[in-house]
Structure 1
Amino acid sequence: MSFVVLIVVFFSQLSVFFTVAATSTLFRHGTVIGFNQQTQTPNILCNTSILVEGDTITAIFGSHEDGSIHVPPNAEVIPAENLIISPGFIDTHRHTWQTTYRTIASNITLSEYFVRYSPLSEVLNLFSPDDFYLSQLVGIWEALNAGVTSLLDHSHNINSREVANAAIDAYTDSGARVWFGYGFDPTGNFTIPSRATHIRDLAGDQRLSGSLVELGMAFDSWGAVSETDLQEAINVLKNGNLSVLTTHWLDAQWNIRHGPSLFQRLGIINESFPIVMSHGTFITPAEYQLLKDYNHYVSITPESEMHFGHTNYESDLIMDQAALGVDTHATYSGDMVNQARIWLQSVRLRSYKKILDQWKIPRLSPMSVNQAFYLATRAGALALRRPDLGILEVGAKADLVVFDGRSTNMVGWRYPVAAIILHSHVSDVVHVIVGGNFIKRDGKLTAENVANITTEFARSAARIQEEAINAPYHMEGGFVFNPVLPPASGDPVDVVIGEGTGY
């Protein structure tokens, strides 16, 4: 094959995933959800244009300034009169490799999840690196399609170099902004020293150089590995130039006590990287104070915490050190707007219930749509210590989500934030731009191979699901959570007239 042919093939393969890199784009005369830095609330700008040059927002201006702002002559102009332009949504907790499980775990408890579908089960043996690649790529496409431009992937499926490399390929091919939570829990024959060597090797990996993928660590085995292995993981955190540490934190009877006091004892609470602790179940005032003192965040995953029942009541009180996440998106919805909506209404419910229990009538809402929107955008950026994300302002990265303000469920809006949080759905997302590049345009993902990849993924998922659903479910005591506590079942509900519901 000639050199010229090789070059043509190389660039044709790249085009499978991406459109041509962005130069300049002007969204003209739309409704822009800007940000008031003083009040930390949305600043609604009507009849306003946004200029994107490269990967950065370079101008935001009203129609009265049209003649005074320099717009590059080659800029693409997109009329935005009926569009709502929002910052991209930021998901601070997701397991993209589990896309393969879609619908097969719809009625499980957290105990059953651990026994049958978690990395602690035998399920990882059903996946090849190619299976993981397909599952992660399709999972990220699901997020992008819904306007999630940045996500922290807790990749606890990593059991070999090949699987870790497949994850990086999926991330870079997707076009999303991804924090790779490289799983350090010693699954399979992939030891912590081997993981440490690989993650150091990745520092010079050309796939990551200049990409939207940042390298981090996901780790949950703090008390379950040898002191030597624990120190190896800590050394990587301190010296590996990682962008984030993420871990699961479910306290009290769940017995997964990975809160800030643990990291204080380990001497890593005041390093340069942020720590994102997912769930924060049964958080105490002392742990909350440590979050504030060292500026680390909890990722609240509302639908997950309801589905699995590990609660999130205390999270009502720590939202100034929290962002939102999705978690196991194959079991429920994978979009951040839905998480913000569920969280908003559940916080309201709990607040109203306290007032009603006092035989009083609620007068004011305890939480606003603006606050829900903040948690899904700006708070996620701050959790990852990226002040240039989750916000529309000059100098910020050009991560935008554009909604159709004239859809049947949104038309007639007066307040655009309320229109998004309470009335929108995924089909209203017209455009998604990440780093200045269109990832979704005119309602469709721009990757040219979506149909082929999803077809391959469907075959992979069907094969894996066929075996996964037959995994046995045995539970003694509290299983991995708390062996002292006995298992129990809640009273079943009845939705059918007569005896039984056919559950």
Structure 2
Amino acid sequence: MKTLLSGGTVVSMDPAVGDLDRSDVLVENGVIVKVAERIDAPDAQVIDASDRIVLPGFIDNHRHTWQTAFRGIGADWTFPQWAAAMHGTVKPHYTPEDVYVATLLGRLEALHSGITTMLDWYHVAQGHEHEDAAVAALRAAPARSIFCLGAGWAAPHSVDDDIRRVRSKLDGDDLVTMAWGLRGVEDTSIDTVTRELKLAAELGLRTSLHTGSDGTQRPIAELREHGLLRNTTTFVHANGISDEELRMLADAGSSISISPDVELKMGFGSPVTGRALAAGLRPTLSIDVVPSVAGDMFSAMRAAFAAQRGLDGGLRARDLLQFATLDAAQSCGLDARTGSVTPGKDADIILLRTDDLTVFPVTDPVGTIVSAGHAGLVDTVLVAGRVVKRDGALVDGDLSALKSRLLASRNRIATAADVPLDGSWDPQPTSA
């Protein structure tokens, strides 16, 4: 099957292809086969891309999707409040159905906003049935997803057995793959980290872990001292990590994921965007938790851009777009398949409206996307060549029924946990 995206403004994120005005993109059997000013393909299904920006789908490499039902409830919370609320109060009441409906609607929300690839950093850690529900939800969404299993986060069963079990379930799946959400040296012993990284390598799994420092800790240096830095690991947040340790990550080929909205609002400190670049790291961007922040990549790009420009005037708009596409694809080990509009890659492509009054007239496409873009501009989305959103609406699925299920899930959990839903909840962190 052939699909021709006709007459769009192509922002390819591939230096060899460049940016092309009023050009075509030909997709065949799910793969981009040609990008040119004019492509003759009389047997192709044509999608009119005039008045559209054609660019690679966004990649969110760190989101705790199981929290979707509590969107917006934590806008005023600090990190200790969020931890007390989501992990200490509501998480124990989650059933597999709650995990399924939150994960599915959260994944569809991300897809709706142009995120074609998303890493679901799972740490509900209630049991096998909950994990299987999350995997089933990701498989039900027509998107590229990575199930990052945070095994060991209070899981009531063997971590190694759990990882092997889920890995076997996802073996051979093309769109839904697996990663391992590790605990860092802040949360477990160096011997455990060593053993788990060894098993991850044995199973061919990339890893992701949260890290940071209050200025007295040196978690990256400790990992390096034990030979545990890998080019297959993404370090999330890293606020407070020293410049020296950032250079250690760059030397190891590791990746870094910044969640700028969460970090600024919850008290993590300034995002390390500029310091990471100075150390030789290409940052990537992620949403983290929608109880506290918006779930679209436009918001994340804008927050990271404003924060860094406010510090030193650094960064260009194209940097942010690369963080959210090609750099993020590399962090997930998927840069050969996605992250740019490049012949030979899978057609993970989004079309943004340029005739919308909020962005019209579009003079600089990249500058417009980063400074003024929003989810309402996402007109069309393709994943591996399949059109999953058309004319501003997702193509398949009964969203009304799914929304009803999510509301019922949220209300049941809130009742069981005895928490208010009227904006008055002020969770109190427990003392260590």
TM surpasses 0.5: yes
| Kept in 1: contact 2:63–2:288 (CA 8 A) | yes
- Which protein is bigger by CA-based radius of gyration? 1
Distance 1:475 1:173, change over 3 A: closer
Task: Determine the C-alpha separation between the residues in 2 that align with 1:154 and 1:303.
Answer: 17
| Kept in 2: contact 1:90–1:150 (CA 8 A) | yes
Task: Determine the C-alpha separation between the residues in 1 that align with 2:171 and 2:143.
Answer: 13
Q: Report the alpha carbon displacement of residue 223 of structure 1 after superposing the two structures with TM.
A: 5.3
| Kept in 2: contact 1:281–1:311 (CA 8 A) | yes
Match of 1:90 among 55, 59, 71: 59
1:377 counterpart residue number: 325
Task: Determine the C-alpha separation between the residues in 2 that align with 1:82 and 1:446.
Answer: 21
Q: Quick one: which amino acid aligns to residue 219 of structure 1?
A: L
Q: Report the alpha carbon displacement of residue 415 of structure 1 after superposing the two structures with TM.
A: 1.1
Task: Determine the C-alpha separation between the residues in 2 that align with 1:227 and 1:33.
Answer: 44
Distance 1:432 1:452, change over 3 A: same
Match of 2:369 among 420, 425, 448: 420
Are 1:267 and 2:242 matched, yes or no? no
What do the CA deviations read for 1:83-137 (whole angstroms, capped 9, x no partner)?
111111111211101112212222111111122212xx24322110111011111
1:58 counterpart residue number: 33
Distance 1:468 1:318, change over 3 A: farther
What do the CA deviations read for 1:198-241 (whole angstroms, capped 9, x no partner)?
32233432x55233111111122645557775555234213111
Match of 2:208, SS?
Answer: strand
Match of 1:316 among 236, 261, 274: 274
Q: Report the alpha carbon displacement of residue 350 of structure 1 after superposing the two structures with TM.
A: 1.4
Distance 1:395 1:254, change over 3 A: farther
| Kept in 2: contact 1:99–1:329 (CA 8 A) | yes
What do the CA deviations read for 1:132-177 (whole angstroms, capped 9, x no partner)?
0111111111111110111122111132111111111111111221
Match of 1:187, SS?
Answer: coil
Distance 1:383 1:167, change over 3 A: same
| Kept in 2: contact 1:115–1:474 (CA 8 A) | yes
Distance 1:45 1:104, change over 3 A: same
| Kept in 2: contact 1:238–1:268 (CA 8 A) | no
Are 1:434 and 2:383 matched, yes or no? yes
Q: Which range moves more in the overlay, 337-346 or 196-205?
A: 196-205
Task: Determine the C-alpha separation between the residues in 2 that align with 1:185 and 1:472.
Answer: 29
Gaps of at least 5 residues in structure 1 are 1-22, 352-364, 481-503
Distance 1:189 1:385, change over 3 A: closer
Are 1:289 and 2:253 matched, yes or no? no
| Kept in 2: contact 1:117–1:468 (CA 8 A) | no
Task: Determine the C-alpha separation between the residues in 2 that align with 1:175 and 1:208.
Answer: 18
Task: Determine the C-alpha separation between the residues in 2 that align with 1:228 and 1:366.
Answer: 40
Are 1:280 and 2:238 matched, yes or no? yes
Are 1:329 and 2:290 matched, yes or no? yes
Are 1:27 and 2:2 matched, yes or no? no
1:199 counterpart residue number: 163
Q: Report the alpha carbon displacement of residue 448 of structure 1 after superposing the two structures with TM.
A: 2.3
Match of 1:151, SS?
Answer: strand
Distance 1:227 1:283, change over 3 A: closer
| Kept in 1: contact 2:2–2:29 (CA 8 A) | yes
1:120-199 correspondence to structure 2 within 5 Å: 121-190=88-157, 194-199=158-163
Match of 1:344, SS?
Answer: helix
Task: Determine the C-alpha separation between the residues in 1 that align with 2:198 and 2:161.
Answer: 11
Match of 2:343 among 394, 400, 423: 394
1:306 counterpart residue number: 264
Percent identity over the alignment is 24
Task: Determine the C-alpha separation between the residues in 1 that align with 2:91 and 2:36.
Answer: 51
Task: Determine the C-alpha separation between the residues in 1 that align with 2:370 and 2:388.
Answer: 22
Q: Quick one: which amino acid aligns to residue 159 of structure 2?
A: R
Q: Quick one: which amino acid aligns to residue 405 of structure 1?
A: T
Are 1:209 and 2:167 matched, yes or no? no
TM-score, length basis structure 1: 0.79
RMSD, matched Cα: 2.3
Distance 1:176 1:208, change over 3 A: farther
What do the CA deviations read for 1:55-80 (whole angstroms, capped 9, x no partner)?
211111112xx34xxx372x211111
Distance 1:234 1:423, change over 3 A: closer
Q: Quick one: which amino acid aligns to residue 179 of structure 2?
A: G
Q: Quick one: which amino acid aligns to residue 154 of structure 2?
A: T
2:181 counterpart residue number: 218
Distance 1:82 1:230, change over 3 A: closer
Task: Determine the C-alpha separation between the residues in 2 that align with 1:329 and 1:472.
Answer: 17
Task: Determine the C-alpha separation between the residues in 2 that align with 1:167 and 1:31.
Answer: 37
Q: Report the alpha carbon displacement of residue 431 of structure 1 after superposing the two structures with TM.
A: 0.7
| Kept in 2: contact 1:116–1:468 (CA 8 A) | no
| Kept in 2: contact 1:279–1:312 (CA 8 A) | no
Match of 2:363, SS?
Answer: coil
Distance 1:295 1:228, change over 3 A: closer
Task: Determine the C-alpha separation between the residues in 1 that align with 2:297 and 2:236.
Answer: 15
What do the CA deviations read for 1:422-456 (whole angstroms, capped 9, x no partner)?
22211110011111112211111122222211111
Distance 1:311 1:390, change over 3 A: same
| Kept in 1: contact 2:100–2:136 (CA 8 A) | yes
Tell me the number of residue pairs that the alignment of Structure 1 and Structure 2 aligns. 423
Task: Determine the C-alpha separation between the residues in 2 that align with 1:392 and 1:95.
Answer: 28
| Kept in 2: contact 1:100–1:465 (CA 8 A) | no
Match of 1:35, SS?
Answer: coil
| Kept in 1: contact 2:58–2:115 (CA 8 A) | yes
| Kept in 1: contact 2:60–2:119 (CA 8 A) | yes
| Kept in 2: contact 1:134–1:453 (CA 8 A) | yes
Match of 1:318, SS?
Answer: helix
Match of 2:412 among 437, 441, 463: 463
Match of 1:431, SS?
Answer: strand
Task: Determine the C-alpha separation between the residues in 1 that align with 2:53 and 2:67.
Answer: 32
1:484 counterpart residue number: none
Q: Report the alpha carbon displacement of residue 258 of structure 1 after superposing the two structures with TM.
A: 4.5
